[in-house]
Each structure stands twice: as C-alpha cells, then as structure tokens.
Chains A and B, each alone.
Chain A
Amino acid sequence: MRPETLRRLMLDRALDQLSPDAVELLDAYVRERPAERAELEQLVSIGQTAARALKTVGDSAAVELAPFPRRRIASAGRIPLVRVRTAVAMAACLLIGVLVGTRSMPQAEAPSGERIAFASANGGSRSIWRVDIDELNPPRDSRAGETRTIRWTSPLEIPQTKGAL
C-alpha cells in the first residue's frame, strides 16, 4: 500500500469514518508493522481526545428548549402590513411624480432653418469653443451634399475648418 493511501485511511479511521470492513482490513495490515500501528494508535487517540474535548464543552442533553415557535412560523409566510403600506406609498409617489412631470414639461421647439440662418447672418462668433453654426449645420436646401471638416491639431490652437466640396 502506498504511504499516502495508508495515511489517509488512518486519518479516516481516527475520525471514525471508515466502514467496519475497512477498519478490519486496516487493522490486519498494521498488525505486522509496528511503526504504522503506533502511528494509527496515536491518531485514533488524538481523534478520541478531540471528540471528548469538544463534547465536554457544555452538554446538549442538559439543554432545555424553548417552546416550538409555532406562531412565528405561522406568521412567517405573510407579508408584513408595514411592508405593504410602504410599497403602496412608494408606488403612489412614483405615479404622482410621473403625472406632474409629464404635465409640466415645456414643449421642446425643434430648431428651425430660420434660426440657424439668423445666427449666421448676425455673424456667429468664432472662438476656440465655438464654431459658426452654419459651418456645422449647413442648411440643407442650399448646401446639400457639402461636407466640411474641422481640423483641430492642438488644444492650444483654434480649430481650422476646411470646406470640401
């Protein structure tokens, strides 16, 4: 038998987890081997002492149990009233919020071509953060098909626009 296998069997035996047949085989095996037998006896002794040490920390037989929590079990399946109230209140708040929000929302105006043209006619200012509106959004009617690119080589420079027809 391989030493590791024997070792595992000995530990299982010390933990009282070997079947009676396996115990018998193991005992027969170590009977002729004094070193292994001594090791097995030591492990079994440690297992027994550990079991005694653990079992004597209090005694479960002496415990008096409180009555079975029948009422608590009966009420466990129900959803508490407080939770129901909270859920209803939250749902109501959400509904009111949605209603108020949808009614008071200003109607968004779509940008018209006129406005863009107006901005362009008044000379849209050009700065590092702003590019003429008509350069970015050319009116479709007059410049359909035109493409313009913005070239910005460095954040310290003003972006350059290039018209590409």
Chain B
Amino acid sequence: MAVTVEQLEGLYRQHGPELLHYLRGRPGLSRDAEDLLHETFVQAALFRERLDESASPRAWLFAVARHVASAFHRRWWHRAAEPLDAEHVAAPVERRDDGLDAMREAIERLPPIYREPLELRLRHELSYVEIADVLSLPLSTIRSRLHHAMERLRETMQATHNGVAGRDHDET
C-alpha cells in the first residue's frame, strides 16, 4: 500500500530539518534550500510507491533530495546567479577550535567524490548501505571512498600538525 499524504507529512516533520541541512550544505543552494525541500516531498509524493518499497525511507528521501538538488544545479540560470561555495562554508557555531577549523578545511579540500559520502556518514549518520542507496553506487565503492577520505584526512591533519609543531619549534 502506498504511503499516504499524512504519513509523508510525518516523514517531513521527522526528517525535514536534516534534509534541509543537507540541501543547505550543498554548494550554491543556500537561498533555495527550503523550496528544494518542498520539491523533494512533492517528488516523494509522486513516486510514493517506491518510498513504500525502500528499505530505509530516510535514505530514499536523501536520494530524492540529492536528485532534486542536482536537477536544480543543471539549470544554467541558477549556476550563473550564485557562486558555488557561498553557503558551503556556512558560519559555523564553533569557530574558535583550531583543531575543528583545520579539520573543516581538510574536509573542504577533499574531492567531492570523497566528501559527499563522508558528510552523509559523519554528519547525517547514514550507514554504508544507505549511502550506497543515496548515491546509487555499489557498497564496496562507498566503503572504499570513505576509507580514502579518512586516509586523506589523516595525512592532511598529520601534515598540519607537523607544520604547527615545526613552527613552534622554530619560534622557541
């Protein structure tokens, strides 16, 4: 049986804030994130049979949101209207922690193919299987990309740490 509009509204209340954050976090979508969230649920309503079949409605909604955001990006007028990284480096709550700042920078520098699954895993806490559903990729690819992302973060953080340690050593 297909999901009713009332059930969809329940999913909107439950996962809406998270999806809105996901959309706002994507480059160039800061101003239109709310509209895209609504569009996500319109699309979800149109294809509600698939929502019913999906193992994880949350992952399915993320996948729909991602498709809606990608379709939005493809429209040339929006690409021209807003610089891509306007909101992506949104004013964070904790800006004073040097370790977190360095980590944010390291994550920003990751190629999108590594950054996206990492954000879905660590920020939105989706499992490997759910991420594979959202990105329409094999599970092994997701695992491998996440491992690469972690390795790169480790290398960057080590380099940063060594740089800071070297600077401190020079100052003394």
Interface residue ranges, A against B (CB under 8 Å): 8, 11-12, 14-15, 17, 42-43, 46-47, 49-61, 63, 65-66, 68-70, 72-73, 76-77
In the complex, the chain A residue whose C-beta lies closest to that of B146 is A15
In the complex, the chain A residue whose C-beta lies closest to that of B22 is A60
User: Which B residues are in CB contact (< 8 Å) with A8?
Assistant: 143, 147
- Interface residues of B, CB < 8 Å — how many? 43
In whole Å, how far is B35's beta carbon from the nearest beta carbon of chain A?
9
Residues of chain B from 15 to 72 with CB closer than 8 A to chain A in the complex: 16-18, 20-21, 24-25, 34, 37-38, 41-42, 45-46
User: Which A residues are in CB contact (< 8 Å) with B20?
Assistant: 60, 63, 65
A55–B119 Cα distance when bound, in Å, is 9
> Do the beta carbons of A51 and B122 come within 8 Å of each other?
yes
> Do the beta carbons of B146 and A11 come within 8 Å of each other?
yes
A63–B18 Cα distance when bound, in Å, is 9
Which of A12, A42, A47, A69 counts the most B-chain CB atoms under 10 A from its CB? A69
**A57's contact among B5, B13, B92, B118, by CB below 8 Å, is which?**
B92
Residues of chain B from 115 to 153 with CB closer than 8 A to chain A in the complex: 118-119, 121-123, 127-128, 143, 146-147, 150-151, 153
Which are the 4 A-B pairs with shortest beta-carbon distances?
Answer: A54-B123, A53-B103, A51-B122, A69-B38
**B103's contact among A12, A50, A66, A76, by CB below 8 Å, is which?**
A50
Instruction: Tell me the total A-B contact number using a CB cutoff of 8 A.
Output: 108
> Do the beta carbons of A43 and B119 come within 8 Å of each other?
no
**B150's contact among A14, A53, A60, A69, by CB below 8 Å, is which?**
A14
In whole Å, how far is B59's beta carbon from the nearest beta carbon of chain A?
15
In the complex, the chain B residue whose C-beta lies closest to that of A64 is B17
> Do the beta carbons of B45 and A15 come within 8 Å of each other?
no
Tell me whether chain A's interface is mostly helix, strand or loop, or mixed. helix
In whole Å, how far is B154's beta carbon from the nearest beta carbon of chain A?
5
User: Which B residues are in CB contact (< 8 Å) with A77?
Assistant: 45-46
User: Which B residues are in CB contact (< 8 Å) with A63?
Assistant: 16-17, 20-21
A8–B146 Cα distance when bound, in Å, is 10
Q: Flag whether B157 is at the interface (Cβ < 8 A).
A: yes
In whole Å, how far is A117's beta carbon from the nearest beta carbon of chain B?
64
> Do the beta carbons of A54 and B107 come within 8 Å of each other?
yes
A77–B103 Cα distance when bound, in Å, is 45
Q: Flag whether B82 is at the interface (Cβ < 8 A).
A: no
In the complex, the chain A residue whose C-beta lies closest to that of B41 is A69
What are some 9 contacts across the A-B interface (CB < 8 A)?
A11-B150, A46-B157, A51-B123, A54-B119, A55-B123, A57-B92, A57-B104, A60-B18, A61-B17
Given contact pairs A56-B93, A57-B104, A46 touches B153 in the complex (Cβ within 8 A):
yes
In whole Å, how far is A48's beta carbon from the nearest beta carbon of chain B?
9
In whole Å, how far is B155's beta carbon from the nearest beta carbon of chain A?
10
In the complex, the chain B residue whose C-beta lies closest to that of A42 is B154
In whole Å, how far is B16's beta carbon from the nearest beta carbon of chain A?
5
Given contact pairs A42-B154, A46-B154, A66-B34, A54 touches B122 in the complex (Cβ within 8 A):
yes
> Do the beta carbons of A58 and B147 come within 8 Å of each other?
no
Q: A-facing mask of B1-20, CB < 8 A → 1, else 0?
A: 00001001100110011101
